[in-house]
Amino acid sequence: MSKQDNSYKVGMSVIGSIFFIFGFATTFIITLSAKVKDIFELSEFEAQMLNFAFFITYAILSIPIGLYIKKIGYKRALIIGLLLMAAGGLLFYPSSSIPSFPLFLVSTFILAAGVVFLQTAANPYVTALGPEVTASSRLNLTQALNSIATMVAPWIIAVFIFTGASEMLDAAGKAETVQIPFVIMSVLIVIIALLIMTIKLPEIAQTATISKKSVWKYPHVLLGAVAIFFYVGAEVGNGSLIISYLKTTNGMDPEMASTYAAIYWGGAMVGRFFGSFMFSGISMSKKITYAIPVLILALVSGSFVTGWNWNIGGIFLGISVINFLIMQIGTGKAARTLAVFALVAALLDIITSFGTGQVALWTVISIGLFNSIMFPNIFTLAVKDLDSGELSTASGIINTLIFGGAIIPPIMGSVADNFGYTWAFIVPALCYLYIFYYAVKGAHIRR
């Protein structure tokens, strides 16, 4: 095995673990908004301030961090990001002990600052580690690892935080139920940061001849950043309201509602594993072969998070098969697949708004499958034709617009407070329609 191959594998392994870490932390915070609503007796809009505190960091820090990474390199950026995440995670202990919602928000902001460091460094790093033609495949693979964590996080909340026993506690007791997961996460993050300090990562060359302003002249970069704004806003908004939506419209207890939220995020995991080989150059027969273990994963994971309910796992398997078949319409092309998935996601949100019972339950859960390839495909389209010297700045701009997760969920929360939860899902449907425009038109504009 060549030294270059070893270096590539080390780089992808480290970045894969990084995607897992910030995926877990992000989804843990998103799903926690329902618990925070209960602990502090907040309106839905107020509870969504937790998402605001997390995602507003992207608006404040992404561009400065993107520029800073060009000076310090990717490895140091990853270490700084991990240590910031650990510090923010540990701060949840005193904020839960008081308990104090403002301190909860401060802890969230610090943890999110670490996530911004990781994500701003990780996405262009994966893109630059290999050929541009397979960049979407690599990003879908790392995003799939991210999505394993996003499925685990709501399940942990269901088992350790939304248990029947915790619902009987007072506000202080309920707040303290979140302490142990954050402490364990922080300790593991510190260990990983120490390990990264000891290994050598492959360096990505960056040219110094491209000015920062040049990136702003590319419409496909800027329109792609807007697409990221609406994508993250829609994904976070859908995911953060699922528990309250199912409690209100289906009369479901919060522990069970959390397991369905885990399936929503698990859909992103399954879809991204599909994307990891659907956007590669392998033959269709191999793609079908690779799809089989992913479908088995869908069956097992859907059953596991619902207490080994194989009926629910079977339904999730069936929807995953449909997702794989619809993905064939995209013929392995990032823009075409993005357009199809955006239309389907918009339709599912609309059906959720006007549907009832099991139909509405499974349409809102199924959106996760069609969210799956959106971020990596939007990112790949947005940085297409850029050179390595422009990647970190473009990534900073794109990641800045991740603060859609700070704006769309509170809007949905306000709609839910005033008009009911079902109407709130019209908002992400509109977001997906913009993404459809970007896939069909915006991604192809250059000057």
Q: Tens digit of pLDDT for each residue in 367-383?
A: 999 998 998 899 889 98
Q: What are the tokens at 398?
A: 């794109």
Residue 132's CATH number = 1.20.1250.20
Residue 16 lies in a domain: yes
pLDDT of res. 413: 95
When divided into structural domains, the chain yields a total of 1
Residue 207 lies in a domain: no
pLDDT of res. 17: 80
pTM of this structure: 0.83
pLDDT of res. 175: 63
DSSP structure class, residue 203: P
Residue 349 lies in a domain: yes
Residue 265 lies in a domain: yes
Residue 188 to residue 175: CA distance in whole angstroms: 22
Range of the domain at 16: 3-199+214-444
Q: What are the tokens at 148?
A: 């394993």
Q: What are the counts of helices (DSSP H) followed by strands (DSSP E) for the chain?
A: 21, 0
Q: Do 245 and 364 contact (CB within 8 A), yes or no?
A: yes
Residue 208 lies in a domain: no
Residue 166 lies in a domain: yes
Angle between the N-to-C axes of helices 101-128 and 74-97, in degrees from 0 to 180, rounded to the nearest 10: 160
DSSP structure class, residue 387: -
Closest of 155, 174, 44, 170 to residue 96, by C-alpha:
174
CA atoms within 13 A on the CB side of 285: 0
pLDDT of res. 8: 63
In whole angstroms, how large is the CA radius of gyration of the chain? 20
CA atoms within 13 A on the CB side of 360: 18
Neighbours of 385 (CB within 10 A): 10
pLDDT of res. 348: 97
What is the dihedral angle through the alpha carbons of 161, 165, 169, 172, rounded to the nearest 10 degrees? -30
Residue 383 to residue 392: CA distance in whole angstroms: 10
Q: What is the mean pLDDT of each run of 10 residues along the chain (447 residues)?
A: 57 77 85 83 92 93 82 85 93 85 93 89 71 67 72 74 52 68 88 84 56 73 95 95 90 87 90 83 87 94 91 96 94 91 97 92 96 90 80 78 94 95 96 97 84
Q: Do 55 and 404 contact (CB within 8 A), yes or no?
A: yes
Closest of 406, 402, 147 to residue 262, by C-alpha:
147
Residue 206 lies in a domain: no
DSSP H helical segments within 40-134, as ranges?
Answer: 44-47, 49-72, 74-97, 101-128
Residue 189 to residue 264: CA distance in whole angstroms: 25
Longest alpha-carbon distance in the chain: 62
Chain segment 259-315, per-residue pLDDT in tens = 999 899 889 889 988 987 887 778 888 989 999 999 999 999 999 888 899 999 999
pLDDT of res. 168: 47
